[in-house]
A = this chain, B = another copy of it.
């Protein structure tokens, strides 16, 4: 039974495994101080078009989020995000466990609007209330939507006007960049946010997220902070090798493109059947709304998640494609959709 449950069901892209195999018995310095990490950072910096960003490779997404956020905020400060934000819903209180409140606003198609930031600022006006200091967004969002350059610029502008840091969670950034609705490049993002990460785990790596610090004021002592949070990998070179491979010939982009191409065929199939989506489909996460019977039919051959049950008995379900999704399985799914 083929799984469209998520984009981390398989190991690593063959090129990545190959690179790991090739260098397996090399002796590398520990803790990310090796030449692979150096080269990977250089390749990413080139892509970003800025040489003065600082890059760190962190094993996982939740860890990257809790590390980044707790490194920036002082005890009385909070992070602002949409209600659907991963840090708010699906990290088991990881941010709060480092001492900081997550203040939320209602999402619009998974996205944050600049005017909501202003509203939060107006509301939190004195020392009896937590102080907003950081804004967290995800691209793609948790609902599979993407930010346009205009949207991200508007958020960035509000943040800079009000001395807020802006952090973009790019766990699925490869799919965002490959979206039809996207007009951002890595260099745009780096110039608009204070820090962001380029997800490896969900785009063909065994593990690893490349955290990019753009704002100088947050770079100080960052390796200490990584260690304090238990996020400094002894064999850090493993992440170096993987990001080297992802960025030396554009593999990172290719894999996002592949995931989205697979998704597009599924989108078309649902649309042909007049099946609507809970959120506008434009990346590797699709949320069609199915009836009980449609859901059951598809469940007999495919694995996917039920996100939400609606009062009328229909369901928003989630299909996820990835670098590893095969054309064959997509065609199978398309056929199954056609016969719904």
Q: Is residue A128 contacting chain B, with contact meaning CB distance below 8 A?
A: yes
**Segment with Cβ contacts to B, from A106-114, A177-185, A233-241:** A233-241
Q: Chain B residues near A233 (CB, 8 Å)?
A: 59-60, 207
Q: Is residue A221 contacting chain B, with contact meaning CB distance below 8 A?
A: yes
Q: Chain B residues near A224 (CB, 8 Å)?
A: 76, 92, 127, 131
The CA-CA distance from A131 to B191 in the complex, in Å, is: 31
Q: Using C-beta atoms within 8 Å of the partner chain, give the interface range for chain A.
A: 35 or more
Q: A30-B9, A206-B206 given as contacts; is B93 within 8 A of A78 (CB)? A: yes
The CA-CA distance from A3 to B2 in the complex, in Å, is: 45
Chain A residues numbered 55-88 whose CB sits less than 8 Å from any CB in chain B: 59-67, 70-71, 74-78
The CA-CA distance from A5 to B31 in the complex, in Å, is: 12
The CA-CA distance from A226 to B230 in the complex, in Å, is: 12
Q: A11-B20, A11-B238, A235-B206 given as contacts; is B97 within 8 A of A127 (CB)? A: no
A225 and B9: CB pair below 8 A? Answer: no
Residue-wise interface mask of A (211-255) relative to B, using a CB-CB cutoff of 8 A (1 in contact, 0 not): 000000000010111111111111100100000000000000000
- On A, residues with C-beta under 8 Å from B are 2-3, 5-6, 8-12, 14, 17, 20-21, 23-31, 59-67, 70-71, 74-78, 89-94, 96-102, 127-131, 201-202, 206-207, 221, 223-235, 238, 324
Contacts A93-B99, A96-B99 supplied; 12 other A-B pairs, CB < 8 Å: A10-B28, A11-B235, A31-B128, A60-B234, A75-B98, A76-B221, A76-B225, A92-B224, A93-B228, A96-B100, A101-B102, A206-B235
